[in-house]
């Protein structure tokens, strides 16, 4: 165990160089710790535990042994500010925590799963994250929520971000929503003509089984708002299992090629897109019913839950 020297910055080795390079803090101000190292503050003992890629490549959490308290850094954080220091009602925090997870943690799902296992070996009574409330009685709630979001399990849910200039794509989206709803699937639509709250869209991506992108052709390609949404999906790496595309065009069909390229790093299966010419007709609605049937079947096959 190390004695704690005055005015030192305690960190792991990988954090040192940014602080030296960016803030010009002199080398002798650092006390570098390794995974599992402890420091005595007299009657309190701090243990440092590496949790790499829980948002940052060098994330480290700190365990205060005597108080069984975990200072969890970004882990278990939420986008929530309140004068209520210790959380009493989990209903208040669920969406704020899910939004934080969606916007910051989702791309690092595999690391989150590993690091939840790592901290489970500690006897924890209190969790104090960098953002959001402290968890005391409710600590299992936030651990369970993070476990659930990062797990491979998906919900029987389809999310449909779309843009429509002359209502053809919108009509298709509305029809597909009805068809999926009749099959007991939850459908969330995001109209991206205006900038809107893209964070809400990210939150729905956390556990949806399927993403259907609604897009009209424009300027020999895809509408820029949808290109942006698809780029975001690719960067956030949600666990969606299926992706499809619906939409209208006038004379070219590059939309499908362009969008599947943008989401190419996702492991999702592409379900055959429905791209039509102009305003939808009866035969196009039949194709949308077929798409809804395929989605429903695949949801049953993978055991997507309500």
Ligand X SMILES: Cc1cc2nc3c(=O)[nH]c(=O)nc-3n(C[C@H](O)[C@H](O)[C@H](O)COP(=O)(O)O)c2cc1C
Residue 198 or residue 218: which is nearer to ligand X going by CB? 218
* CA pair distance 306, 303, nearest whole angstrom: 10
Measured between alpha carbons, how far apart are the two ends of the chain, in Å? 50
Q: Could you identify the residue written with the tokens 């096959």?
A: 301
Nearer to ligand X, 107 or 221 (CB): 221
What's the closest the beta carbon of residue 222 comes to ligand X, in angstroms? 9
Contact residue for ligand X among 64, 218, 232, 270 (CB under 6 A): 218
Residue with Cβ nearer ligand X (133 or 247): 247
- Rank residues 150 and 222 by Cβ distance to ligand X and give the closer one: 222
Strands 30-33 and 9-12: parallel
CA angle 36, 37, 41 (to 5 degrees): 130
Residue 275 bridge partners (DSSP): 247
Binding part of the chain for ligand X, among 21-29, 33-41, 102-110, 247-255 by CB under 6 A, reads 247-255
Indicate which single residue of 28, 85, 219, 265 sits in contact with ligand X (rule: CB under 6 A): 219
189 binds ligand X (CB under 6 A): no
* Position among 5, 57, 184, 252 found at the interface with ligand X (CB under 6 A): 252
Place of tokens 């619906």: 246
Phi (first) and psi of residue 48, to 5 degrees: -105, 130
The answer for residues whose C-beta is within 8 angstroms of residue 201's C-beta and 6 or more apart is 159, 161, 190, 192, 229, 232
**By the rule CB under 6 A, 164 interacts with ligand X:** yes
Q: Does 78 bind ligand X (CB under 6 A)?
A: no
Contact positions vs ligand X (CB under 6 A): 164-169, 216-220, 248-252, 278
């Amino acid at each position: 165990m190390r004695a704690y020297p005055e005015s030192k910055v305690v960190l792991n080795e990988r954090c040192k160089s940014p602080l030296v390079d960016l803030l010009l803090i002199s080398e002798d101000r650092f006390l570098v710790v390794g995974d599992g190292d402890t420091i005595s503050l007299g009657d309190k003992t701090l243990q440092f535990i590496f949790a790499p890629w829980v948002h940052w490549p060098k994330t480290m959490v700190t365990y205060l042994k005597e108080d069984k308290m975990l200072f969890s850094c970004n882990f278990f954080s939420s986008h929530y500010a309140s004068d209520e220091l210790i959380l009493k009602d989990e209903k208040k925090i669920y969406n704020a925590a899910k939004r934080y997870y969606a916007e910051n943690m989702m791309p690092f799902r595999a690391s989150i799963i590993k690091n939840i296992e790592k901290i489970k070996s500690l006897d924890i009574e209190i969790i104090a994250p960098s953002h959001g409330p402290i968890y005391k009685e409710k600590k299992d709630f936030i651990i369970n929520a993070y476990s659930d979001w990062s797990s491979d399990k998906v919900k029987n849910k389809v999310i449909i971000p779309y843009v429509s200039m002359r209502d053809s794509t919108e009509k298709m989206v509305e029809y597909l929503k009805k068809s999926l709803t009749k099959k007991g699937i939850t459908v969330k639509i995001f109209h991206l003509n205006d900038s809107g709250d893209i964070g809400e869209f990210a939150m729905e991506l956390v556990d949806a089984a399927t993403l259907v992108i609604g897009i009209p052709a424009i300027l020999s390609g895809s509408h820029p708002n949808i290109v942006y949404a698809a780029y975001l999906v690719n960067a956030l790496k949600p666990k969606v299992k299926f992706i499809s595309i619906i939409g209208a065009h006038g004379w070219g069909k590059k939309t499908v090629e362009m969008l599947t390229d943008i989401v190419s790093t996702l492991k999702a299966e592409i379900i055959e897109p429905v791209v039509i010419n102009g305003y939808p007709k009866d035969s196009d609605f039949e194709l949308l019913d077929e798409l809804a049937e395929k989605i429903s079947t695949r949801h049953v096959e993978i055991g997507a839950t309500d």
